[in-house]
Amino acid sequence: LSDAPSWDIILLNGRRVVNSTSHGIVHEALVADTYNTPPAGGSTVSVSVSGDCKLLSETSFTVPNFSSTRAFSIPVRTTFPDDFNDEPGIVRIRLEAVGGTSFTRDFACDSSRPDPCGISPQPPECIDPNAP
């Protein structure tokens, strides 16, 4: 048997486990081993994005020194990029545990373009001049 912990990272939207972020929503990422034990104090968790995704939350977190049987939790919030490149958005969460173990998990980032005609008031190009 190995002494090395088996890490996992899950993403929550409220109490639901999800595989992708939704723009503007604060998600919670939980980092723990198989037994829901958090990484050792001093470990770091980093968050990065690529493609059509922009990160609004912090990019780096340090696990505090605490005794807990709960996962380490961090907020993850994304939004639309400043410019769309038609590349799938990816949120990457990486644990660098004290002792040299690392673990990375990728999640999809909602890359759907906002509907300019879905806002109020609608811009002139969305108004049908023939509508009653």
* Residue-wise pLDDT tens digits, 86-120: 899 999 999 999 988 899 999 999 877 666 676 66
Is the separation of the CB atoms in 81 and 53 below 8 Å?
A: yes
Using one digit for the tens of pLDDT, what is the confidence trace for 46-85? 999 999 999 999 999 999 998 878 999 999 999 988 888 8
Q: Where are the domains of the chain?
A: 7-126
C-alpha to C-alpha distance for 59 and 94, rounded to whole angstroms: 10
102-109 and 20-21 strand pairing: parallel
Q: What residue type is assigned to position 75 of the chain?
A: P
CATH topology of domain 7-126: Immunoglobulin-like (2.60.40)
Identify the pLDDT of residue 120.
67
Is 60 exceeded by the pLDDT of residue 1?
A: no
Residue with the larger pLDDT of the pair 120 and 20: 20
C-alpha to C-alpha distance for 45 and 54, rounded to whole angstroms: 18
Is the separation of the CB atoms in 33 and 5 below 8 Å?
A: yes
